[in-house]
């Protein structure tokens, strides 16, 4: 158990800026492995969603007195599936409702199937300066198994179209540990990815999420259960190959060229404030954690009805579940400490002693003496003068380490 005596609690304020996450719950097709809060076939809700999202943004801007925004992230779902004009309108609303810092990073998740030169130029013109593209694999057979709507060639073409349009900060997402995937196939996908010379790469091991069509197929024996050892071999192969090709690993699943780390995701890992808008989006701001209701239909109805009925701000509080906010979690120092450790340990640099002390008024060593001792003995962490961080072995067994910090 952590020793929480005399803990101070100084959650970061939003005076220095927040990260803004916008959840787009639309996809053209639903991939069979995906359990995100996203839906195919509800495009008729896009106009009402756009109205609600803009109202929610204006509402938060007013409630929080137009705080500065450090990063903006359009995630989902498939934001690139929205009409390009909608992305511009949302950006205008953000600019009118929040302060925007000069070097703001504005990322949009993108499906290769949505990229055309016209769209790419319009995205860039609207202010988006970073694209995170869900490529997942450069093997057409595996793309089919994943239910993706693009081929390997289309993904490569989309990447070069984004470059021609002028994007200088591109990230590629890949998935490994797929049914039937061999290390050779994975190696080929890494070759293709390295050849594209992206600024950033995210790698995710396939998780079979309950109640997804893929889980049903695995259970029925149509596909084999993913082999953890093989997935670990693929991860190690990626570490070797990306490291040898100019990428620095800075988080368990993320690699970047120099100066190109995802600033938005760093906010999450450093447990800094962020505001989420849209259905199911989570927020952590001003010492409060809260989440919007998940259903796009209910979200749209509640936000638009409130506004249309009496013109009032649909977001009225961070402390109570009103308007689109459905869950509010009380944040105790114990929760904040656990989150700070769990998220921070994902970073290669680990949790910095100085940062921890500034936030909690105590040293990591004093708060978690037994936990650190145990993890050091198991060879899962290292403790340096600067930080507590995962060892090479710990990176493969991250969940075991994180569990130690939950009181
Ligand atoms: S495109 Fe992405 S968000 Fe949409 S269903 Fe597929 S994996 Fe999920």
- Three-class SS of residue 227? coil
User: What distance in angstroms lies between residue 294's CA and the mean position of ligand 1's atoms?
Assistant: 16
User: Does residue 36's CB lie within 6 angstroms of at least one atom of ligand 1?
Assistant: yes
Q: What is the pLDDT of residue 377?
A: 96
Which residue minimizes the CA distance to atom 3 of ligand 1?
A: 77
pLDDT band at 57 (very low <50, low <70, confident <90, very high): very high
For CA atoms 396, 4, 359, 99, the dihedral sign is positive
Round to whole Å and give the CA distance between 281 and 406: 23
User: What distance in angstroms lies between residue 208's CA and the mean position of ligand 1's atoms?
Assistant: 14
Round to whole Å and give the CA distance between 355 and 348: 15
pLDDT band at 201 (very low <50, low <70, confident <90, very high): very high
Q: What is the pLDDT of residue 10?
A: 81
Q: Which value, in Å, is the radius of gyration of the alpha carbons in the chain? A: 22
Q: What is the pLDDT of residues 64-102, one digit of tens each?
A: 999 999 999 999 999 999 999 999 999 999 999 999 998
Residue with tokens 């259905």: 279
CA distances from 207 to 181, 210, 255, 280 (A): 14, 9, 20, 21
User: Does residue 30's CB lie within 6 angstroms of at least one atom of ligand 1?
Assistant: yes
CB atoms within 10 A of CB 385: 5
pTM, whole model, 2 decimals? 0.95
User: Does residue 25's CB lie within 6 angstroms of at least one atom of ligand 1?
Assistant: no
Contacting residues for 327 by C-beta, under 8 A, at least 6 apart: 290, 291, 321
Answer yes or no: are the C-beta atoms of 239 and 249 closer than 8 Å: yes
Name the phi and psi angles at 255, rounded to 5.
Answer: -130, 145
**Model confidence at 407: pLDDT above 70:** no
User: Does residue 134's CB lie within 6 angstroms of at least one atom of ligand 1?
Assistant: yes
Classify residue 99 as left (phi > 0), alpha (psi -120 to 50) or beta. beta
User: What distance in angstroms lies between residue 37's CA and the mean position of ligand 1's atoms?
Assistant: 9
Residue with tokens 């991860």: 235
Which residue minimizes the CA distance to atom 6 of ligand 1?
A: 31
User: What distance in angstroms lies between residue 174's CA and the mean position of ligand 1's atoms?
Assistant: 13
Q: What is the pLDDT of residue 307?
A: 72
User: Does residue 202's CB lie within 6 angstroms of at least one atom of ligand 1?
Assistant: no
Q: What is the pLDDT of residue 308?
A: 77
Which residue minimizes the CA distance to atom 8 of ligand 1?
A: 34
Which residue minimizes the CA distance to atom 2 of ligand 1?
A: 77
Nearest 10 degrees: Cα torsion 183, 186, 192, 196: -130
User: Does residue 80's CB lie within 6 angstroms of at least one atom of ligand 1?
Assistant: no
Q: By mean pLDDT, which of 85-99, 177-191, 317-331, 382-396 is the weakest?
A: 317-331
Round to whole Å and give the CA distance between 395 and 255: 14
Domains 18-269 and 348-404 share a fold: no
Contacting residues for 162 by C-beta, under 8 A, at least 6 apart: 110, 115, 120, 131, 133, 170
Closest ligand 1 atom, residue 109 Cα: 2
Q: By mean pLDDT, which of 42-56, 77-91, 148-162, 302-316 is the weakest?
A: 302-316
User: Does residue 204's CB lie within 6 angstroms of at least one atom of ligand 1?
Assistant: no
Closest ligand 1 atom, residue 27 Cα: 4
User: Does residue 78's CB lie within 6 angstroms of at least one atom of ligand 1?
Assistant: yes
Helices (H), 34-151: 46-63, 84-97, 117-125, 140-145
Closest ligand 1 atom, residue 147 Cα: 6
39, 41, 42, 77, best to mutate for ligand 1 pocket (most atoms within 8 Å of CB)? 77
Percent of residues, the chain, with pLDDT higher than 70: 99
Q: What is the pLDDT of residue 327?
A: 85
For CA atoms 358, 99, 162, 165, the dihedral sign is negative
When the pLDDT of each residue in the chain is averaged and rounded to a whole number, the result is 94
Closest ligand 1 atom, residue 33 Cα: 7
Helices (H), 171-295: 183-196, 213-219, 228-243, 263-269
User: Does residue 77's CB lie within 6 angstroms of at least one atom of ligand 1?
Assistant: yes
CA distances from 147 to 108, 144, 185, 359, 403 (A): 21, 5, 18, 44, 33
User: Does residue 76's CB lie within 6 angstroms of at least one atom of ligand 1?
Assistant: yes
115, 134, 173, best to mutate for ligand 1 pocket (most atoms within 8 Å of CB)? 134
Answer yes or no: are the C-beta atoms of 361 and 10 closer than 8 Å: yes
**Model confidence at 317: pLDDT above 80:** no
CATH class, domain 348-404, is: mainly alpha
Q: By mean pLDDT, which of 340-354, 362-376, 393-407 is the weakest?
A: 393-407
User: What distance in angstroms lies between residue 78's CA and the mean position of ligand 1's atoms?
Assistant: 7
Q: What is the pLDDT of residue 330?
A: 75
**Model confidence at 381: pLDDT above 70:** yes
Percent of residues, the chain, with pLDDT higher than 90: 83
Q: What integer is the mean pLDDT of 365-379? A: 95
Round to whole Å and give the CA distance between 25 and 346: 27
**Model confidence at 24: pLDDT above 80:** yes
**Mapped to the 3 state alphabet, what secondary structure does 3-49 carry?**
CCCCCCCCCCCCCCCEEEEEEECECCCCCCCCCCCCECCCHHHHHHH
Topology classification of domain 18-269: TIM Barrel (3.20.20)
For the chain, domain boundaries: 18-269, 348-404
**Model confidence at 262: pLDDT above 80:** yes
């Amino acid at each position: 158990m952590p020793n929480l005596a005399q803990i101070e609690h100084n959650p970061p304020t939003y005076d220095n800026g927040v990260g803004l996450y916008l959840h787009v719950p639309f996809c053209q097709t639903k991939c069979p492995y995906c359990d995100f809060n996203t839906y195919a076939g509800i495009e008729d809700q896009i106009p009402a969603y756009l109205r609600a999202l803009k109202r929610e943004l204006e509402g938060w801007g007013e409630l929080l007195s137009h705080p500065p925004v450090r990063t903006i992230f359009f995630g989902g779902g498939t934001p690139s599936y929205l009409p390009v004009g909608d992305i511009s309108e949302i950006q205008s609303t953000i600019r009118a409702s929040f302060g925007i810092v000069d070097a703001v990073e504005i990322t949009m998740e993108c499906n290769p199937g949505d990229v055309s030169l016209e769209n790419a130029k319009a995205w860039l013109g609207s202010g988006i300066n970073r694209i995170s593209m869900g490529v997942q694999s450069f093997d057409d057979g595996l793309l089919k198994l994943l239910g993706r709507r693009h081929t390997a060639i289309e993904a490569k073409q989309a990447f070069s179209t984004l470059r021609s349009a002028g994007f200088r900060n591109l990230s590629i997402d890949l998935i490994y540990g797929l049914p039937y995937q061999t290390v050779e196939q994975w190696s080929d996908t890494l070759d293709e990815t390295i050849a594209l010379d992206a600024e950033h790469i995210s790698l995710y091991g396939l998780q079979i999420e309950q109640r997804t069509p893929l889980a049903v197929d695995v259970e029925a024996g149509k596909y084999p259960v993913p082999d953890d050892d093989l997935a670990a071999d693929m991860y190690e192969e990626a570490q070797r190959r990306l490291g040898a090709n100019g990428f620095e690993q800075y988080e368990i699943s993320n690699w970047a060229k120099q100066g190109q780390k995802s600033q938005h995701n760093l906010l999450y890992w450093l447990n800094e404030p962020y505001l989420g808008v849209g259905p199911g989006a989570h927020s952590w701001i001003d010492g409060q954690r809260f989440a919007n209701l998940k259903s796009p239909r209910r979200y749209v109805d509640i936000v638009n009805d409130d506004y249309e009925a009496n013109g009032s701000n649909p977001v009225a509080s961070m402390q109570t579940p009103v308007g689109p906010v459905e869950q509010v979690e009380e944040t105790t120092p114990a929760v904040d400490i656990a989150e700070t450790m769990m998220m921070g340990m994902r970073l290669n640099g680990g949790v910095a002693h100085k940062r921890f002390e500034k936030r909690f008024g105590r040293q990591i060593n004093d708060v978690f003496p037994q936990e650190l001792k145990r993890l050091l003995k198991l060879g899962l962490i290292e403790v340096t003068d600067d930080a507590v961080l995962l060892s090479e072995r710990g990176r493969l067994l991250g969940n075991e380490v994180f569990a130690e910090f939950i009181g």
